[in-house]
Amino acid sequence: MLADPPYRRHGDADDAARARQAEEARTIQAFHDQGDHRGNAAFFLSGFGLPPEAVDEMLASPGGEMMIDSARALAYDYALVGDGLIPDALAA
């Protein structure tokens, strides 16, 4: 299903999008390797433009523990998405 993964459309900035995705994947993997799932969740949520205070509040909320636990899968998710661009051959 191509509706759920956070793929980006191809365009003039494909190289920049690939570089950004690779940097995010490295950061996600580093948090994962350190066992810092809260840090991973905070990094991921900040990617939506949330200020640090809002991220901290979300992670301290009753649902925050579930978000932190779910962050264990982020490295795997990023590996599956690859370069972050829509896989045209698969989509066809």
- CA–CA distance, 11 with 8 (Å, rounded to integer): 9
Q: Token digits for 75?
A: 């490295």
Judged by DSSP in three states, 85 sits in strand
Reported as a single tens digit per residue, the pLDDT across 38-69 is 999 999 999 889 999 999 999 999 999 999 99
Q: What global pTM score does this model have?
A: 0.82
Is residue 11 a contact partner of residue 86, using CB atoms and an 8 Å limit?
Answer: no
Q: What share of the chain is helix, strand, coil (3-state, %, to 5)?
A: 65, 0, 30
Q: How far is CA 26 from CA 21, 61, 90, in A?
A: 9, 27, 25
Judged by DSSP in three states, 10 sits in coil
Instruction: Phi first, then psi: give them for residue 35, nearest 5 degrees.
Output: 75, 20
The residue ranges of every structural domain in the chain are 14-91
Reported as a single tens digit per residue, the pLDDT across 7-19 is 777 778 888 888 8
